[in-house]
Amino acid sequence: MRVIFLGPPGSGKGTQARRFGEARSIPQLSTGDLFRSAIKEGSPLGLKAKKYMDAGELAPDELVIELILERMKLPDCEEGFILDGFPRTLGQAKALDKALAAQNLPLDRVLAFEIDTAKLVERLVGRRICPFGHGEWHIRFNPPRREGRCDVCGEALVHREDDQEEKIVTRLEAYRRDTEPLIQFYEERSILSTVQADGDMGEIARRIDALL
């Protein structure tokens, strides 16, 4: 199964993509996570992406496309994948179409997460992530078992630099301007479904399972 989870930052698509991927034994491919790992490793690609990420702006298409297409070549993607945070621009969506068409691998579905902007800010400000990519929690809505620690590896959780309020505004603007038009792009291909992403995580998971 090849699916895209599309939605604004803070809509919970990363958490749901991780869970869904584990349940279906397909990898969750998050370009944000891939960039954060590249930055941690000090790779040239990570260094190039860092200044955009820190500012809450989108990284240039060529950088993201190179990153994700390389990742999709790994053997764990043979049975499919969930794209989380990619594509985010029409240029990226078209590049993805081209790459998949060249291998005769159609997309099965695009799931658009719908949620109020006010809720997004609240979710992002309280979000804490594992620096080793084991997941994310929320200080109020989804606290880890041990305060401030990753449930999986016990590492201290971090508040992302771009989850500060002023950066969030820039990121939400980028979403409205560059990413929201993808909803229509996939609607026209008749592969779009929408999921109400507000409320209990278990309930949202059930809605997703029913759609896919």
| Sequence-separated (6 or more) residues with CB below 8 Å from residue 88 | 31, 58, 64, 174, 175, 178, 179, 182
Q: How many residues bind ligand AMP (CB under 6 A)?
A: 18
Active site residue 171: yes
Based on the shown chain and the rule CB under 6 A, indicate whether residue 115 belongs to the binding site for ligand AMP: no
Return the number of the residue (14 or 144) whose C-beta is nearest ligand AMP. Answer: 14
Answer for which of 20, 162, 197, 204 binds ligand AMP (CB under 6 A) is: 162
Based on the shown chain and the rule CB under 6 A, indicate whether residue 31 belongs to the binding site for ligand AMP: yes
Q: What 3-state class would DSSP assign to 73? A: coil
What residues pair up with 99 in beta bridges, in sequence order? Answer: none
Return the number of the residue (33 or 198) whose C-beta is nearest ligand AMP. Answer: 33
Residues of this chain, 36-95, that bind ligand AMP according to CB under 6 A: 52-53, 56-59, 64, 85-88, 92
* Catalytic member of 2, 71, 88, 167: 88
Return the number of the residue (58 or 204) whose C-beta is nearest ligand AMP. Answer: 58
Long-range interactions of 202-207: CB distance < 8 A, separation 24+: 204/12, 204/16, 205/16, 205/19, 205/20
Active site residue 109: no
> Of 63, 68, 70, 95, which Cα lies nearest the Cα of 83?
68
Active site residue 145: no
Return the number of the residue (16 or 92) whose C-beta is nearest ligand AMP. Answer: 92
Could you tell me whether strands 192-196 and 136-138 are parallel, antiparallel, or unpaired per DSSP bridges? unpaired
If residue 29 lies in a helix (H) or strand (E), which one and from where to where?
A: strand 28-30
Q: Which residues bind ligand AMP (CB under 6 A)?
A: 9, 31-32, 35, 52-53, 56-59, 64, 85-88, 92, 162, 171
**Positions marked catalytic:** 13, 88, 127, 160, 171
